[in-house]
Each structure stands twice: as structure tokens, then as C-alpha cells.
Structure 1
Amino acid sequence: MTASTTAFYPIGTPGVAWGATEKAQWLSRQSRQRSYMDEVVSAIERLRARFDVVEYGHIAYGDDAYPLFAVKSREWDDALPIALVTGGVHGYETSGVHGALRFLDRHADDYAGRINLLVAPCISPWAYERIHRWNANAIDPNRSFRANSPAAESAALMQLVEPLGARVAVHVDLHETTDTDETEFRPALAARDGKPFEPDGVPDGFYVVDDSEHPQPAFQEAVINAVAQVTHIAPSDANGQIIGSPVVAPGVIRYPLRKLGLCAGLTDARYKTTTEVYPDSPRATPEQCNAAQAAAVCAALDFVLDRP
């Protein structure tokens, strides 16, 4: 059998993109495994005494409805630059969500009066509850930050951020690369699109994705150096790559962020990065992963604030 005709996923026909029937079958296999309200919204509510909390959208799939929240600096000053922090674009990437919340709780006060903070900790709550990459329509929100977005989660964040314009100086988008990327999510993507599945490795450690169209190597290096104090940095593979992309510096690869519709390409910020931790590593704990995400945010903000 050729790669295109070998069954590698339990839904669909190899080589044929999914239609409505296959997407419905996929959806029927998804189940709630944790609570957005109990684990995320409750933490946001505890921050209301120190920050402004904005409900910027509402997501509904059938009987499931979710308010979308962003946390803002209480003493917002239009004369200051803006730092955007996003997590949970992929709901299953747990430390993206809880790393953003950790930053708010433990570190954000250090930046009061220096930079405006806008933090959206969990952009895709349906997927957070189901520990999944896609939304209920089998759409990846992190390929959907573009005009007429097919993902309601992405469209809502775009609407929130659009009025801020060029004042966004830095954007840190918090992600994970997990073992299930290789065992579930990449096979599902290939099956959905009617393409062959090509196995790849999962890097053991933290790395970042720079913008190939506007690279900022010193900025990425500052993030890597800070996180290296918390957890280990992913090495390149035998081909000098991480997830199929050339390593341009220790722990750094590059993507065309806006062209791919990625969350980190959402703004015109000069400094932007996508973080990736590896929670399945025997060398890292959930606590380390959350701390690494928070350290990355702090390093990014410190780098920007140290420059005119």
C-alpha cells in the first residue's frame, strides 16, 4: 500500500478529505474531560480585585456555551505600549492556559505603570474541556487568524485586538508540543484533509517560533535564555531541525506567522513569539511547564522595556 491509501486514522477514507459525515463522526467521539469554568474562569474571577476583566466574546456549540475573557491592566495608560499574551488557542495545550494565569497572578504587578497588559488566557474553551486541538467544527483556530475567519474563537480575539493597532509592542503566544501531536492530532489533520500522514519526532524541551518575515533573533534569544533557567531547551534533530524546520539558533525556528494564519501573527507587533513546551518529557513537571511559560512572558516584556 502507498502512504495515501494506508489507513492511519479511524475516521474517513485514506486520500479523501472529510465531508459533513466524517466531521460529525469525529465530533461524536469528543467528550468533556475537564471544566473551563472550574479551572480557568474561577482563576480569572480571583484576579478581578487587581485587574480589569473583559468579556470579549461568546462561543456556543449546541448546548455548550462559553464566555471568553481577557484580563487587562487596571491602570491602563494610552501613552504606554501594549503587551499581548495569549494562551489556549489550542485548548489541549494546558500550560499555555495556566502559564498565562500564573504570569498574571505572580508577575504582572511588576509591570504596572510600565506597559499595558492584555492577556487572553484561554481562547478555545470548548477544546480546553475536551483536551483537543480543534474547535467543534474540526477547525484549527491557530490557522484561522485571517479575514473572514472560519473559527469563531479566532474572530473574537481579532475583534478584541483590532482597535489597539500599532500600539501592541510585543505578543507572546503560549503553546505546547505534546506526544499526542504525533499520535492523534497530526494523523487527524492528515485524515481530515485527505493527505498521507508523515510521522515526525516530538522535540524534548522548550523552543520558540520566530516570525520569518520579521525575525528578531536577539528577542528570541532573551526568551530562550530566561526559560533555560526553568527547564531544558529542545535540541535540534539529526537534520538540524525542530518539527521539520531549520534551527536558526538554539531552541529557535521560524514560520511566516501571518501567512499561516497563526495567532502570533495577529498584530503588527515588532516583537512576537510562539512558545512551545514539552509537558510529556520525563525531565519536566507541569509546574515547570507553567513556570517556563510565565518566564517566557517576563523575559519578552523585560526585553522590550529595556529598549527605547
Structure 2
Amino acid sequence: MAATTQRFYPIGAPGQPWGAAEKAEWHARQRVQRNYAADVLTVIDRMRERFDVRQYGELDYGQDGKYPLFAVRSRDWDDALPVMLVTGGVHGYETSGVHGALQFLDQRAGDYAGKANLLVAPCVSPWGYERIHRWNADAIDPNRSFRENSPAQESAALVQLVAPIRDKAAMHIDLHETTDSDETEFRPALATRDGNPFEPGEIPDGFYLVDDTENPQPAFQQAVIEAVAKVTHIAPADANGEIIGSPVVAEGIIRYPFKPLGLCAGVTNARYTTTTEVYPDSPRATPQQCNDAQVAAVRAAIDYALAHG
């Protein structure tokens, strides 16, 4: 297995976790492949007439530059209304998480004026977005770092942003993708970073959701699955009845313990929480279809939370 890991990710020594030198070598390999300001910030800027746009932090990655972090809020925020939180781009390489959140804001967020307070952070990890990577510049996965005293700047900034609505949020949907590069790049890198052997897995073909083991909401998850199924196909279980190594509890639904793992979807105490997983590498899905699936998931999640309190 060690040889397999090295073939995929030849940094460091087999079985030895990375130190500062290996992380520096990994960092030096990363290249900017797209532009956060052009792709994301210009879109957010065009929304200022309709929404409150607020900077909630700034990443400082030295020679790599600084990245302002923005959230979009309902213009007429009303403390009497339920709060709905939408996050995207926690893993910067998961494209439809970012652009799905932006599309929802542009096309459908207005539907909820006077019904709910919306708080949307479309691109939590802009450094990762530009380099199409899962980690941040310090080789840390933000989506294992949503806790107090977080080692990830991205996660710490979002924790601070949502602190005022932590106990007020009714729903939080975190928009993600599962890609073929998880198996060819990111899981091998993770194994190598941590000094573990790489054990190949299987990428599911289709959309699925991650529910919270400690706060399961099966009817809520099912409502989201039903809405997305009208847009794109739902991932089937593998031969072991699993998706990415977790038992399938209902069509297209698995469970993780959000808060213990430091996942973004556990950043509030909302009753209704979920993580979407779009599969952009499927021959049966286009990039626009992936964005549309994220929008359908957000709308279904908000609608269910509004209907069921």
C-alpha cells in the first residue's frame, strides 16, 4: 500500500507524517488555476442593491496574498423570522458548492423575503478555490476544523460569523461535491500527510446527502433528496450497501457525527442540518446541472424548515 501512496503523492517517507518541510514542499506545488475576485467577488458585488453584503474576515497567506471573506444577508433582517444558513466552498475545489450558492442568491433568495432571514457564505475557502484544492495553504482541511481555537483561518472566521445566530438558526445546508479527484489526489495526499497507507475506495455516481448522526432528521433529508432527484440522479449504494464507506440509511443518505468531526454542518445548533454531495464528474451531469442540484437542495431545505418549524 505504501508504494501505491507514493505513486500518487510522492512527498515525504512512507509511514511518516509530514513535518514543516513536507508541508512546504506540498505548498510549493500548488498553482493558481482560477480567480476568486473575478469568479466570486464580482458576482457578490452585483448583489449589493438587493442584499446586505458584509466582509466577515480576511485570510492572510503571506506571499500567496490576502483573501477577503464575504457573506450575503437578507436586506430586511427580522429577528422574528427563522434563520437559514447556506455555506459553500468550504472545500475550495468543489465548484458547484460556490456557484450553486451564488445562483441561489441571484435567482431564488428573493422568494424568501419576509419569510426567513438568509445568511449565505458562498466561498468559505478562496485560497482553495483558486488552486482547486481541498485543503488550505497550511495543508489543513477546513471541513475538519470547525471548532473553537480552530487551526484553519477559514473555519475560525466562519465560526465567528455565525456565533450570533448559532442558537437561532433553524436550518444549515453546506454545499459540497464528491469528485473523482478525491480518489486520485486528495485521499492519497491525506494518507501520505498523516503517515498512513492509502486504501483505494469507490466514488459514488450521483447526488447524496450527509445527515448528522447525533441529530438525525430523516424526513428533512428525504425532502431534499426528492427535490434534487428532479434535477439529477441520486447515488446508489455500492455492493456493501454503503456510500464512501458509510452505511446508506435511506436512498442517497448517509450519516456522520458533525460536531465531533469538526464539520461545517455542525457549526450551529440548528435542528435541520445537512451536507450536500454533488458528483460533477458523472457523464450524466453537466456543470449547470450540478449548480441546479445545489439550488434545488437549498430551496427544499429552506421550504421544509419553514413548513415544520
TM-score for both structures, normalised by structure 1: 0.98
The aligned residue for residue 228 of structure 1 is 229
Residues 188-207 of structure 1 aligned to structure 2 (within 5 Å): 188-207=189-208
Q: Which residue of 2 aligns with 1:33?
A: 33
1:169 is matched with 170
Q: Deviations over 1:125-146 (max 9, x none)?
A: 0000000000000000000001
Is 1:145 the counterpart of 2:146? The answer is yes
Cα distance between partner residues in 1 of 2:109 and 2:3: 51
Secondary structure in 2 matching 1:306: helix
* Structure 1 gap ranges (5+): none
Cα deviation for residue 5 of structure 1 reads: 6.0
Alpha-carbon distance between aligned partners in 1 of 2:278 and 2:164, rounded to the nearest angstrom: 31
Between the aligned partners of 2:108 and 2:240, the Cα distance in structure 1 is 38
The equivalent residue for 2:109 is: 108
Q: Offset at 1:166?
A: 1.4
SS at match of 1:126: helix
CA distance, structure 2, for counterparts of residue 164 and residue 273 of structure 1: 17
Aligned partner of 1:54 in structure 2 is 54
Kindly state the Cα deviation for residue 307 of structure 1 after the two structures are TM-superposed. Answer: 1.8
> What's the counterpart of residue 17 of structure 1?
17
Distance 1:165 1:145 in 2: 13
1:21 counterpart letter in structure 2 = A
Q: Give the Cα separation in 1 of the matches to 2:143 and 2:115.
A: 30
Task: Give yes or no for contact 1:5–1:15 (8 Å, CA) kept in 2.
Answer: no
Alpha-carbon distance in 1 for matches of 2:305, 2:18: 44
Partner Cα separation in structure 1 for residue 124 and residue 302 of structure 2: 21
Alignment-mate amino acid for residue 235 of structure 2: A
The within-5 A match list for 1:177-256 is 177-256=178-257
Q: Do the aligned residues in 1 keep the contact of 2:166 with 2:267 (CA within 8 Å)?
A: no
Identity of aligned residues (%): 71
Whole-Å Cα distance in 1 between the matches of residues 206 and 48 of structure 2?
Answer: 34
Corresponding letter in the other structure for 1:25: E
Q: Is the 8 A contact 2:32 2:131 kept in 1?
A: yes
**Aligned equivalents of 1:36, 1:272: Cα separation in 2:** 27
Q: CA deviation at 1:165?
A: 3.0
Query: How far did 1:20 drift?
Result: 0.6
Residue identity in the other structure for 2:51: F
For residues 49-128 of structure 1, the aligned pairs below 5 Å read 49-63=49-63, 64-128=65-129
Show structure 1 runs of 4+ deviating over 3 A.
Answer: none
Q: Any idea what the Cα deviations from partners look like across 1:99-146, whole Å, max 9, x if unmatched?
A: 000000010000001000000000000000000000000000000001
